[in-house]
Every structure is written in C-alpha cells, then in structure tokens.
C-alpha cells in the first residue's frame, strides 16, 4: 500500500506569489510569514514524497458558475497554470499521477463521493502558490501532484463534516493502492478572512489558533461547524478551512506536529502553516 | 445594506448563493472572460459595448462605470469574478477592501494589523 508520510497546511493567497516575484521575503511585512517555511521545505526535501494530494479551491480559472463541481479531482499526467486576470506570473507545468488519481476517483465514487473527474484542468493560485512556496524557484517538477478541488465560492458548499469524510475516503483509497510510493497531503487556503462586502477585513486570530490546535488534536470538533458558522466567526472566506479539514481526514494513523507558524495579517488573511508527520495505522 | 435583506443572514456579507448566481450570471461571465488579455483589451476599448455583449443590466453597467464594488456584489457579482474586474483596474484585494469599507487604504491596513495581532 502507498504510504502517507505527512501533511502540510499553508495559505495560498496571490499576494505571496507577488512577494516572491518582487523578492520581498525579507521585508518587515513579509519576514514573519516566510520565516515559517524553511523547516517545511527541509522536511519535504529530506523525505521526498513521490506524490502530493493537494486540496485547493478554484477561484474562477478552470471552473465558471455555468457548471460548478462541488468536488473535483484531476486525473491527468500534467496540469497547467494560466493568466488569472490580475497579474501573478504563471508557473511551469505541474506533473500529475494519473494512475493513483484514477484509483482514488474509482474508490471515491464507489464510496459515495460522486466526483467530477478532470482529464484537463487549469490550476490556479490555490494550487500553484503552495508549490512555489515549498519549492522556491518552482523546482517542483519531480513531485507528482493530484489536485482535489473543493467548491468554496458558491453556496451551497460542502460542509466541513462532508469535507472531512471526503478526506477519510481519499485516505482509504491511497492506503489500498498497491505501490510502495510515499504520499504527502496538502491542505491550502484560509484561515479567517473576508474579501467582500462592508465586512471586508474580518479576521479572527483567536479562532485561527484554536483551529490549528484542533486540527492536530481533535479534528472532529471542527466538523461540528457549519459553513455559515465559519462565515460568521471568521469572515466569508473562512470556509477555505474546509481544505484543511479534508487534509486532516486523510490521516487515519498517528499524527505528530513537527512545526507551525501563524502570522496575521498577510494581505487580508490570517496565514497558518502546519507540518504534520503521519504514521500509517496498523 | 445586507441588514435589510432576509436572504442575507450575516450583516456586511453578501453570500454568493443561487439567487446571486442567477442574478449576476452575465456580470460574472463578463468578469470571468477577463482571464484573457484579449478580453481585457476589448473591454478597455469600449466598456459599454463589452457589457452589452454579456447582457448586463442597467444597474450592473452603472456599478461597472462607477467602480462600485458593493454595488457589483448587490447586483449578483461574486467577489472572485469582481476581483478580475478590479485587477483590470489595477486594484488589489486590499484596495477593494478599503473601497468597500469606506476607509482609506492606510486605515484598512491598520485595521487588519490590529485584528491580526488580536487587539481587536
């Protein structure tokens, strides 16, 4: 069976890509954010996972609201980034893992998660910013990425408990894949923030820190929130926490926190970073 | 204001739901097109003609003209697509945060710093 060795959560906001492009990592504004990343990069470079299953949301690059999948999975050999309209640089192609992707897709539908299965899928900053962050200079070509996209843009959105269950089903699928490959899981986006309306600029540091604690120790507590709860507590886009919750659902075995960082604000958001090690259940 | 709208349960927040998605379809479709440079160029050349192409309502066209972000949300705009219109105007998320809250950019940033540090 494929071996799930750990997980990372990270912000994915476009401003990070601009900061890297402008070499602003050491400026007072950005330093407390970027200083969190070297231990995670080192872990990834030491452990060299073969595959990353990456939970993200598409902010209107691949999917428009003409047809909006609740859950989508990429099954391609390669993914491309593209112009999103407001000027972050596009990044080189991302390598896929078609065989494991199809295995996961088959297993998910068998288990009642009726995924949209994508052989072509443009990936936006939700997926690309985390890769650029983990492998500076976009040196990620050796890692195979499986994109899992969760609707966080249009209500009704899948609820936290459903996203957690999706993660559990993906964990089961990976565990049943006949291979000795190693897999790491990325949960991206969040934490508290609100971009739209008179409530723009909503942030909730206390809630973000609680979420990070619970994500490690008692993730099922997070599944008792509804999306509307998250909107009220942390702002409209706090629903991106669902990607973190889905990530955590994948980890059925023993989880050890190796590293964390939290800094707010980064642009309009609370930016959390977690590195978790995972031992497979017996 | 959202406070008077029974379909919007969180003050200051325009939940993008089925009602909004239907109301704002043409507007969002136009903004989605701004992923392409050629579409941005076409809009810039003749905004009214470009809005007409997507069947925008008068209220939506007015909000586009006035760069009225709250107006665009009220008319069914999704922030993710409105952001592409903002990008065309060279405005980022913090700029439009300030516009929506009626603050200066510096005031908006200062509010975020306060909240981020847990002071507020």
Pick from A194, A206, A265: CB nearest B113:
A265
Pairwise CA distance, residues A189 & A201, whole Å = 16
How many C-beta atoms lie closer than 10 Å to residue A74's C-beta? 28
What is the domain extent for residue A151? 3-279
d(CA A141, CA A93): 8
- CA pair distance B96, B108, nearest whole angstrom: 10
Q: How far is CA A99 from CA A78, A102, A144, A176, A230, in A?
A: 12, 5, 11, 13, 35
| Residue B2 in this model has a pLDDT that exceeds 50 | no
**Given a cut of 60, is residue B1 above it in pLDDT?**
no
Q: Is the pTM of this model over 0.95?
A: yes
B37, B81, B112 member nearest A203 (Cβ): B112
- Which are the contacts of A68, defined by CB distance < 8 A and separation ≥ 6? A151, A153, A154
pLDDT of residue A153: 97
- Show residues of chain B in contact with A231, CB under 8 Å: 10, 13, 15
Spell out the CATH class of B2-89.
mainly alpha
Q: Phi and psi for A133 in degrees, rounded to 5?
A: -70, -40
pLDDT, one tens digit per residue, over A85-122 is: 987 889 999 999 999 999 999 999 999 999 999 999 99
Say which CATH number the domain at A169 has.
Answer: 3.40.830.10
- What pLDDT is stored for residue B6 in this prediction? 60
pLDDT in tens, A15-32: 999 999 999 999 999 999
B93/A268 touch (CB, cutoff 8 Å), yes or no: yes
**C-alpha distances in angstroms, B22 versus A153, A244, A258, B11?**
14, 30, 46, 21
What is the C-alpha end-to-end distance of chain A, expressed in Å? Answer: 12
Three-state helix/strand/coil letters over A213-226: HHHHHCHHHHCCCC
Residue ranges covered by each domain of chain B: 2-89, 92-120
pLDDT of B118 reads 86
Q: How many helices (H) and strands (E) does chain A have?
A: 10, 10
Q: What is the number of structural domains in chain A?
A: 1
- Mean pLDDT value across chain A: 96
Q: Which residues of A are catalytic?
A: 125, 193
Question: Does position A147 have pLDDT exceeding 50, yes or no?
Answer: yes
Candidates B115, B118, B120: best to mutate against A (most CBs of A within 10 A) is B115
Kindly list the residues from chain A whose CB atom is less than 8 angstroms away from the CB atom of residue B63. Answer: none
């Amino acid at each position: 069976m494929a071996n799930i060795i750990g997980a990372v959560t990270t912000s994915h906001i476009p401003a990070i890509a601009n900061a890297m492009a402008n070499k602003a990592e050491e400026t007072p504004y950005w330093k407390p954010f970027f200083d969190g990343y070297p231990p995670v990069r080192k872990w990834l470079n030491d452990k060299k996972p073969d595959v990353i299953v990456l939970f993200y949301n598409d902010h209107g690059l691949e999917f428009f609201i003409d047809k909006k999948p609740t859950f989508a999975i990429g099954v391609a050999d390669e993914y491309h980034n593209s112009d999103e309209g407001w000027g972050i640089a596009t990044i080189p192609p991302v390598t896929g893992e078609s065989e494991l992707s199809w295995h996961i897709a088959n297993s998910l539908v068998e288990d009642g998660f009726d995924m949209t299965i994508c052989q072509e899928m443009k990936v936006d900053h939700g997926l690309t910013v985390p890769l650029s962050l983990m492998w500076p200079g976009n040196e990620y070509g050796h890692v195979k990425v499986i994109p899992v996209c969760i609707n966080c843009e249009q209500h009704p959105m899948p609820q936290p408990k459903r996203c957690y269950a999706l993660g559990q089903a993906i964990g089961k699928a990976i565990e049943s894949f006949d291979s000795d490959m190693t897999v790491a899981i990325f949960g991206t986006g969040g934490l508290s923030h609100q971009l739209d309306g008179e409530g723009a600029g909503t942030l909730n540091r206390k809630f973000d820190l609680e979420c990070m604690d619970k994500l490690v120790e008692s993730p099922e507590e997070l599944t008792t929130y509804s999306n509307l709860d998250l909107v009220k507590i942390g702002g409209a886009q706090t629903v991106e926490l669902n990607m973190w919750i889905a990530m955590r659902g994948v980890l059925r075995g023993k989880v050890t926190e190796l590293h964390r960082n939290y800094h707010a604000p980064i642009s309009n958001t609370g930016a959390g970073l977690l590195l978790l090690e995972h031992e497979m259940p017996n | 204001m959202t406070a008077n709208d029974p379909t919007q349960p969180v003050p200051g927040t325009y939940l993008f739901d089925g009602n909004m998605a239907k109301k704002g379809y043409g507007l969002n479709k136009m903004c989605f097109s701004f992923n392409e440079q050629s579409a941005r160029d076409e809009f810039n050349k003749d905004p009214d003609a470009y809005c007409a192409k997507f069947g925008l309502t008068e209220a939506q066209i007015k909000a586009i003209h006035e760069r009225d972000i709250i107006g665009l949300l009220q008319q069914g705009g999704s922030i993710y697509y409105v952001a592409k219109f903002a990008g065309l105007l060279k405005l980022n998320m913090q700029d439009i945060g300030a516009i929506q809250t009626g603050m200066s950019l510096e005031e908006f940033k200062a509010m975020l710093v306060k909240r981020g540090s847990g002071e507020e």
